[in-house]
Structure 1
Amino acid sequence: MKTTGSGRSLVWLLGTWGVTRLLLLLFVFKVYVFPGPDVTSDVSVIYQGWYEVLRTGTFPLDDVTWQYPPAAALAILSPALLPFLGYAQAFFVLAFVADLAAFALLLYAGLRPGKSLRGTWVWVVGVPLLGPTVYARYDVMVTAVAIAAVLAGTRHPRVMGALVGFGAMLKVWPMLILVAVRRRGVWAWAVGTVAAVAALFAVAMPGPFAFLTFQRDRGTEVESLGSLVFHVARHHGWSGQVLLNYGSVEFVGPGVQAVSTAALLLTGMTFGWLLMWRLTATRFEAATVADAAFVAVLMFTVTSRVISPQYMVWLIGLAAVSVCFRGSRMGTPAVLVLLASFVTVLEFPIWFSHVVQSDPLGITLLALRNGLLVLATVLAARALWRATVPREEPAPVPGQPARANETSVSP
């Protein structure tokens, strides 16, 4: 009976993945038009523009929208692997391949002892909830690398370190996977890979680290947690504007710098909490590395000045790899991330115009999505702390008998 049940589960998994991914491809190839603004224009205009510059052997030094580590150039240049397709079409196919790779990794892991297919289901269901945006950004490629890194950790620490380092050079955040890693070899391989990739690009192409300045100068994006202040303030006489700034739609005007600074302070507090947790945690189980990585990325996403829709791909991927372990405590936060992903596709792209206008529908969607992420973060951090940090037993009061002897009766 177990074999039959497992076989049926696999059939449903494969069928659901196939149907949902076919729909995503039909949307990005515009066989069917998805509601809202065209999310594929980032590939056909921005990415292809970067591609034309990168293929000359230099980074887009004069383009403030280039805000990525140097290895991101490989993702942007990757459509050259399919020269028989146009740039955008090749990119969509490669994003699909990255999605397939992540699915295959989670499926393989889920069938191993001590693992579960819950993580595979999270990925299968979560990715299409974001709509065609997921294939129109290179974040799905980065997430596939991160998933591979976490799953490699228990048996192949060197591979894990190399993948974490490479992922960090694609988009920084995979370095957070190391937050609960105790093996020095993993850290050494991660740092070594970062150094090697950085040195390679520094020698081969001018300006690999210009992105640091561009990222520093960003403001408060209209979908971030802090943006809710200005969405409400616009109804009470706030004199600022919503502008396309540094490649995203941001608030510009009085008080924006203060809110952006507050977001940076919250991010600093997040780092402090993670450091305190790491110093006090003593119980490490098979799921701890994955759970801690999920918590860390949740924290940094929620406190960021920018919460773009594609950031949800990171959370779906780490939620999937986390609950892939049977001992994971992240079941409820993973469900909340899936709910937040569904609300995300409603606020972008379907009703993004309402978000930009700060009307009641737009504010409600943002408050709901960000509220779900905050709740997921609090519950995930609480579960991680309780699972790994030992509770301190109260010291006995001098002169009083131990609790175990209180019920005894002397003859």
Structure 2
Amino acid sequence: PIAPLSSSKPQILPKSLNRIQTKITSPSKQQQSTIKFKFSTKHIVHSYLTPLLKRRPIKVFILLCYLIAIVISVIGITKVNDGLDLTDIVPRGTNEYRFLELRRQYFSYYNIFAITKGNFDYPNGQRLLYDYHQTFNRIDAIIKNDDGGLPEFWLSMFRDWLMELQQAFDYDRKRGCITRERWYPNATTEAILAYKLLVQTGRTDNPVDKSLLLSVRLVDSQGIINPKAFYNYLTAWVSNDVMGYGAAQAAFKPEPRQWIHEANDVELKIPKSPPLIFTQIPFNLNNIRTTEEIVQTIQDVRSVCQRFEERGLPNFPTGIPFTYWEQYLGLRFYMIIALLAVLIGIFFTTLILTCTLWTPVIIIAHLIINVLILFGFIGWIGIKLSALPAVILIVSIGISLNPLIHITI
């Protein structure tokens, strides 16, 4: 049998449940402080900060601060210079920094090349090549000779070599060492080589014609190499004047054929080299230290190349200045294009999501002001504009957009 419950137990059970319910429903001290803190922050914002910002003097003051910041930023933007010196990426006061600074100050020397390409008639376009080379004399940064002219290039060195052979031939012919049909043992090696060159026709079906010996000259009175046998002469020059060809730094492509002259060899045929599709003319630049000076030189060289490209000479420049500094010619333009593309994308995306015109206009206006302030800050602290600061400016739009959307929408 089960004993009945006493009368006191029904009174104890409700009290226990009441204590448990009290512990569950009543907040702790930490929760009370959190609620009080949240309430206090909200109270400050709604009771003090919001009414303060709604006052007209405060609005005018904020707008004036924005205008002053924009004006200061615009002034700072005018101080931004392009470039990224090597001294900017090493710690100041180190040996590396001093080395790079001294190199920039005393050894501002660069080597560039003017490249002429294929699809050009080199034998009949010699005048244009001379004009092309001479036009570079107008660029101040290019090192000149003592007489103010440019150093010789491959075509002029090729021409001078042929003229020396022609003089040797004329001298031996006057002495009777060379006739139309043959040369004698007392003829010089240069005169014999000139004899072999003069009888070249430049044709594959009839490569040698002795009747040309007295009617043709290697170089005419105007300094033009005989165009018909131009590539036969080129074979002889590259193979027999190695020092001259090496000094010219012409780097012919395709490489001319090899033919070594021997005075005892009675064979008159000289192989014809394939047409040139690549040559280079070396130039030396000096006294260009800043990015502005290098960029100006690049623009001058590009202008010359473009002018002769229009005249039918396919060409382009190359060298360290063009590889590293030519990016600054269009850096600002492409940076602005990227900024506009990002802003336009944000504008239309916000317009579609909010279905209102006022919100995206406010967001874009704030983003533009943020970019102007950051760009002006770059100018005031002396940071030069390169690819890295340009990327930071573009990325700053996305960084500013996140909190701005939460505030605006």
Give the TM-score taking structure 1 as reference length.
Answer: 0.22
Structure with the greater relative contact order (CA < 8 A, sep ≥ 6): 1 or 2?
2
**Whose radius of gyration is greater, 1 or 2?**
2
Give the TM-score taking structure 2 as reference length.
Answer: 0.22
More helix by share: 1
